[in-house]
Chains A and B, each alone.
Chain A
């Protein structure tokens, strides 16, 4: 094996990436991680020294959206290097082998690297019909998940389906779908990257975090890294000043909409959604949903398909919006229990899910923090 620093720098050069550009990338990562720029140097050193850790990527009740997000990794050539820093031994969407050969690759990775590999899970895991709602090679998703995640060094649940059950678990949860935390009880070192899909910048940042600090990042109550989920979207929104000034979009395409006024009245869930969308944005910083004029739908939060809908109804029970101090009341809204939230939006059937037959879930019903918490200094 070539010395790590050599192969890494050679690869950089081969891809036309100068050392300086690479350091720039590490600086970006450092800022994604909310670290001082000087930390960039130690990140660079850590990546160069690292052997390629093995990663296996499992897809269950998924739409492949997180894989597509993964393919959009930013700073292309450098992101590719970061991927090459890992050995992706199993990923059905991209791997060349199929059928028996593909299954053998998974078995080999799990056996040869027991306790050392990283598992990524995309999609929820169904528990109904003895596992027949999702099988791969004749095996149920839940048995694969328990085996593979059970022996992993760490598991990353990528996207809201793998994290909280997501769309398949929306009422009436026809297949008994669960996120990893519930489907694999006792799973070690689980990191949840919620959102629909998860932003690849946060996956990349997580990997770099691990390689740099040799441990996993501190998380919130939902096991989401604070560096990405530590603040409410509302707190960092570019339209926040319009909220504070009481300037709102009233109709699609009206003067306020074209000017970039606050989308609160159109149903924006930014005040109760914790993610770094406004900071890192999407597709190499090109844009983000609020930036293109549509309200946030709260996709990073548990049960958002039930709790945040109807999407275009503005958050209720928040009197006199437009005054900054009321954000605390919005935070209180976020702690409304599921039953009350369901009753509020009138989908009667949803409540049934919670009464009968629902698989056990280990998630708390609501965040245990308020907007602005989780990062020193709070909201400005």
Chain B
């Protein structure tokens, strides 16, 4: 048995450590550990609930909108504020733009280097690369000259002898299987995607002032004024600007991202047999299509158990619990049971090895992440869960695109339960959303045309209009999955604030009954060619798109005396 530790896991957000036991060329067991803690919810106690979105937003700068959205929804739910239609449309645009940009960046900049060998691209024939590119897409940047230029550019970079972020990686590893030409094409698109993401995300700057950390969220609405006749408001010019950005975004997704994904996946079809994980999927649903309570959602909520696509259970928030048996926290009533977020309690309690350390005590507590459970079971959340629930629920466009992708790869729906399935689902979702964005933008323009200019529910802005004590929950589908915030407000201040976050669901440790979290379960059986170059571990872990800063949090600020905070 060989212990293989990957720390830091790079090309992710946050600090993640994976420990595995490898035997017979396969992962036999795995432990996922988050190694950073900030305590954001503790910091929120006693503050103005209208400020909470800005605090929670800083949980993550990659998915820079998600905790703001969940937060304003939770507070609105608590105080009874009703955002007007324009706020719903602005938020849908912001959420979808986040998801599309994030997925493309994940594919090219965080995940691609697990499948694409940059060094191999140096030996590609640019003419053949051009033929390959033109056979899969009519994207204009595809000439022999273009790819020769990219290759020359990479060559010059390598010859200068300073490989920077590409140094000491796993180039030449036998698990890389793309032909040199496909590698060169992917490298070209890696560079193009760097430019693309910077352009596309200007939608966020228009609607939120800046990205990262947009600054236009409000409890009760949005701060972005709308008026076709004013310079300082969103107007026809802004609509035109966003139309153009969405169109260019759609072009890149349709003509570059999706063809690349299919081309690369066709060389790695065996990865449809690895990385399945727990096989349970949880989705809260997203993109309200109407105003008021319980609106229809463009991507439906639901729960799938044990890979059974014939049955989608309704989502029931009361079934969510969090456990701390293997997490660096303790519960007053003992660490063996789970607690619902509203009843939650937490004390950070670090019992791990004193740094510097070589190994974690994986039999005991070993992560700053908790173990969320739904009905007692570990659940995978994220694009795969969303696409599976939408597919099984009959969402027309998702059903159609899943069919297209499976058909092109020549595999059945069972292939979705895998590392490759996650990669494919992310692409499908991107396509579905980037097609949909125009609808929301047109809705905004239509409201402008009829002088429906409200952006916020001002009737609930002043804390004096709120109940003395109230609580609420905000649910959201972040790029990485189901996100929930729970807030308890007393006398206009936050009494308790809790987040249960996608990467906590996916990256969390074992629970009291010893059930592994989704990362841990997904790594079982992963082939390892060379334990000193654990490329295959990265493939499966990256397929979840880890966001660890998001995942680590403290649940209950209520029962904790500030005086107990231990500070050096």
Contacts and interface: CB of A to CB of B under 8 A. Distances in A.
Interface of A: 1-2, 7, 10-11, 14-15, 52, 54, 59-69, 71-73, 76-77, 80, 84, 86-105, 126-141, 143, 166-168, 170-177, 196-197, 251-253, 257-260, 282-284, 286-294, 297, 305, 309-313, 347-349, 352, 356-359
Given A52-B160, A72-B201, A283-B210, A138 B357 contact: yes
Nearest to B60: A63
Interface in B194-246: 194-195, 197-199, 201-202, 204-213, 215-216, 218, 220-221, 223-227, 230-233
A172 B565 CA distance: 8
Nearest to B241: A286
B46 A347 contact: yes
A128 B566 contact: yes
B376 interface: no
Nearest to A57: B165
Interface in B16-71: 17, 35-40, 42-43, 45-48, 50-51, 54-55, 58-62, 64
B132 to A, nearest CB: 22
Interface string B544-555: 000001000010
A65 B213 contact: yes
Contacts of A100: 5, 532
A102 B15 CA distance: 13
B61 A359 contact: no
Given A134-B35, A137-B8, A359-B567, A349 B167 contact: no
A93 B40 contact: no
B13 interface: yes
Given A136-B8, A282-B210, A289-B210, 18 more contacts: A1-B160, A60-B36, A63-B59, A94-B165, A95-B165, A96-B169, A101-B169, A102-B10, A128-B566, A130-B568, A133-B37, A167-B43, A175-B37, A251-B458, A258-B230, A292-B216, A311-B50, A352-B563
A10 B157 CA distance: 11
Contacts of A133: 36-38, 350
Contacts of A282: 205, 209-211
Contacts of A170: 43, 55
Interface string B98-137: 0000000100011001000010000000000000000000
A134 B165 contact: no
Interface stretch (B148-156, B264-272, B380-388): B148-156
A71 B167 CA distance: 20
B95 interface: no
A168 B198 contact: no
A2 B162 CA distance: 13
B164 interface: yes
Contact of A174 (B39, B169, B209, B356): B39
Nearest to B152: A14
A331 B32 CA distance: 49
A341 B275 CA distance: 52
A288 B35 contact: no
Given A133-B37, A289-B209, A99 B8 contact: yes
Contacts of A136: 7-8, 15, 35
B38 A177 contact: yes
B461 A252 contact: yes
A29 B10 CA distance: 32
Nearest to B14: A64
B209 A138 contact: no
A258 B350 CA distance: 51
Interface residues of B, number: 112
B9 interface: yes
B376 to A, nearest CB: 30
B223 to A, nearest CB: 4
A197 B58 CA distance: 9
A253 B453 contact: yes
Contact of B567 (A71, A94, A358): A358
Contacts of A64: 13-14, 60-62, 549
A80 B46 CA distance: 44
B538 A357 contact: no
A312 B453 contact: no
B168 A105 contact: yes
A11 B154 CA distance: 10
Nearest to B105: A71
Contact of B10 (A95, A166, A313, A359): A95
B43 A132 contact: no
A92 B8 contact: yes
A139 B358 CA distance: 9
Given A176-B568, A283-B210, A357-B565, A98 B355 contact: no
B61 A143 contact: no
B350 A132 contact: yes
Contacts of B201: 72, 283
B10 A93 contact: yes
B125 to A, nearest CB: 19
A286 B208 CA distance: 11
B354 A130 contact: yes
A104 B533 CA distance: 13
Nearest to A263: B223
Contact of B11 (A95, A101, A356): A95
Contact of B224 (A63, A143, A292): A292
B454 interface: yes
A15 B439 CA distance: 36
B166 interface: yes
Contacts of A62: 61, 549
Given A64-B549, A310-B50, A172 B42 contact: yes
Interface string B533-549: 11000100000000001
A99 B14 CA distance: 14
Contact of A138 (B7, B14, B45): B7
Contacts of B160: 1-2, 7, 52
Given A253-B455, A292-B216, A14 B58 contact: no
Contacts of A252: 218, 220-221, 223, 455-456, 458, 461
**Could you say which of B42, B64, B157, B205 has the most chain A C-beta atoms within 10 Å of its C-beta?**
B205
Contacts of A86: 164
**Could you say which of A141, A197, A313 has the most chain B C-beta atoms within 10 Å of its C-beta?**
A197
Contacts of B169: 95-97, 101
Contact of B48 (A7, A126, A312): A312
Contacts of B105: 71
Contacts of B7: 99, 136-138
A97 B170 CA distance: 7
23 contacts: A63-B58, A69-B61, A72-B212, A92-B8, A95-B11, A95-B167, A98-B10, A99-B7, A101-B168, A127-B568, A132-B352, A141-B36, A168-B38, A171-B43, A174-B42, A177-B38, A196-B58, A252-B458, A253-B225, A253-B453, A283-B204, A283-B205, A349-B562
Given A72-B198, A101-B169, A96 B566 contact: no
